C-alpha cells in the first residue's frame, strides 16, 4: 500500500521530541510509528477524517475495517495506551457499538471513530483476536 507523502514512518531510534503541531501514532505490538502534521493528512474515505483508521490507511498500516469505517462492526477495535486526551470524545454511537466488541477494555476505541484532534503522542494496541482474524484470512475487501 502506498504511503501518503505527508506521513513519515519512524522507528524507536529515530524518535526524538515531537515538533509543535506534530502527531506521532504508534501501533502495538508491531511498534510501527508514523509522524505527520496535525490535521494535514488527506482523507482516505474510510472512517472519520483524521481517525486512527484514516491515519493507518494513509500510512500503509493494516487495521481491519470490515464495515468500511461506518461504526457498524468492531473489527477496527484498538486499545489506547497513551494519548487518550488527544482524541475526540466517545460518541453515543461509538459507545453502543463498542459494547458489542470482543475483549472490551476500559480504554477501547473504534479506530474509525477515534479522531486525533490534538498534536502529541498516541499509542494504540491492536487486540490479538483482531490480528488473528487477519492472519486467518478474514481481512476485509473494502
Nearer to ligand FES, 24 or 65 (CB): 65
Decide if 87 contacts 108 (C-beta within 8 A): no
Phi, psi (rounded to 5 degrees) for 99: -60, -20
CB of 51 to ligand FES, least distance (A): 8
Binding residues for ligand FES, rule: CB under 6 A, are 65-67, 69, 71-76, 97, 110-112
CB of 57 to ligand FES, least distance (A): 11
Reading the block at residue 120, the C-alpha cell is 502529541
Strand partners, 23: 36, 120
Nearer to ligand FES, 61 or 67 (CB): 67
First to last CA, the chain: 13
Nearer to ligand FES, 116 or 119 (CB): 116
CB of 134 to ligand FES, least distance (A): 13
Nearer to ligand FES, 37 or 60 (CB): 60
Question: Alpha-carbon distance 113 to 124, whole Å?
Answer: 14
Question: Alpha-carbon distance 30 to 25, whole Å?
Answer: 12
CB of 75 to ligand FES, least distance (A): 6
Determine the length of the chain. 142
Question: Alpha-carbon distance 94 to 71, whole Å?
Answer: 7
Nearer to ligand FES, 1 or 12 (CB): 1
CB of 110 to ligand FES, least distance (A): 5
Amino acid at each position: 500500500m502506498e504511503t501518503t507523502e505527508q506521513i513519515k514512518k519512524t522507528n524507536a531510534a529515530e524518535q526524538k521530541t515531537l515538533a509543535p503541531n506534530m502527531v506521532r501514532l504508534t501501533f502495538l505490538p508491531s511498534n510501527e510509528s508514523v509522524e505527520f502534521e496535525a490535521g494535514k493528512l488527506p482523507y482516505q474515505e474510510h472512517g472519520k477524517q483524521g481517525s486512527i483508521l484514516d491515519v493507518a490507511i494513509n500510512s500503509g498500516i493494516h487495521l481491519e475495517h470490515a464495515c468500511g469505517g461506518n461504526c457498524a462492526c468492531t473489527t477496527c477495535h484498538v486499545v489506547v495506551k497513551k494519548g487518550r486526551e488527544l482524541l475526540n470524545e466517545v460518541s453515543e454511537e461509538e459507545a453502543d457499538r463498542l459494547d458489542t466488541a470482543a475483549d472490551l477494555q476500559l480504554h477501547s476505541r473504534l479506530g474509525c471513530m477515534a479522531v486525533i484532534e490534538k498534536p502529541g503522542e498516541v499509542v494504540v494496541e491492536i487486540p490479538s483476536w483482531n490480528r488473528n482474524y487477519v492472519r486467518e484470512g478474514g481481512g476485509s475487501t473494502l
